[in-house]
Amino acid sequence: MPIETQLATFEAAWLPRLNAPLADAIAQDTGDDRLAAAMQYSVLAGGKRLRPLLTVATLQTLGQTVDLKRLWRPIMALELLHTYSLIHDDLPAMDNDDLRRGEPTNHVKFGAGMATLAGDGLLTLAFQWLTATDLDAAVQAELVTSLAQAAGPAGMVAGQAKDIQSEAVDLPLADLRVLHKEKTGALLHYAVAAGLIMGGVPTAARAAYLRFADAFGLAFQIYDDILDVVGTAVELGKATQKDAGEAKNTYPGKLGLQGANQALIKTIAAGQAALDDLPADTDASLLRAFFSYFDTKRVKA
């Protein structure tokens, strides 16, 4: 089966199951109707659900049965946290964006104050959902610690801080890679790590999976940088060509489009090589299929 078909089949099977309970679950765990509406608005505005899908795919690659009665909230906690980061990233004090996923951003719809609170609510609810399960207490604790490290001041928040401070500053490529690893890669790293934690994989046996996750995270950011140049607002559901206008450091800005595309191809190859290092009896085809998200032919030769 072509990898694009395998990924499409996987998404068709899992997206409805992941999405269906979201609105009711958020309302159930929120004590104010307007706040719940603001939280639901951004979570339900679309999105690929890439991060929870990666967790499910990791569990399936491990040969685990994904029981959503037990695991739905822990799996979807990451999507809540990711959505909080988008709401706050769009705020006037940050990127001041008016469009996200083809719809008005949360602060445009609900005002900056309520949007800030919606992000706060999703952030904290994410950690509540990690423990809303009968998983072993040690597993719950490791999930909480891992997500806090990925999302907090050693991970995504650190990357955002570097991003703000580096506008109009010419970062060396190595420093840009660190910024991307924190800002974008940390949550994708956690998405795979969460599957390994819930799947009971010992720490010593996780390295190849996590190298795949890190390569996927970097490829995701490089591709996002490329799409900001070659994509359209209609296609992407958000404003494009903002990075150059705001003097942000990007792969196309440093390497040109052709160079950025070559970096993308090289990064994908590194992720595929990491999967080659999994035990010989592991069927990694589903994880490999995630690389079909990236169209390396978008940049013309």
Indicate the SS3 state at residue 254. helix
Distance CA 221, CA 184 (A): 7
Q: Is pLDDT above 80 for 232? A: no
pLDDT tens figures, 175-217: 999 999 999 999 999 999 999 999 999 999 999 999 999 999 9
Work out the percent of the chain whose per-residue pLDDT is above 70.
94
Q: Is pLDDT above 60 for 244? A: no
Distance CA 247, CA 238 (A): 18
pLDDT tens figures, 124-166: 999 999 999 999 999 999 999 999 999 999 999 999 999 999 9
Quote the pLDDT of residue 237. Answer: 62
Alpha helix stretches (DSSP H) within 131-206: 137-151, 156-165, 173-180, 186-198
pTM score of the predicted model: 0.94
Question: In which band, very low, low, confident or very high, does the pLDDT at 102 lie, cut at 50, 70 and 90?
Answer: confident
DSSP per-residue string spanning 84-147: HHHHHHHSTTTT--SEETTEE-HHHHH-HHHHHHHHHHHHHHHHHHHTSS-S-HHHHHHHHHHH
pLDDT tens figures, 67-95: 999 999 999 999 999 999 999 999 999 98
What domains, with CATH codes, occur in the chain? 3-293 (1.10.600.10)
pLDDT tens figures, 276-292: 999 999 999 999 999 99
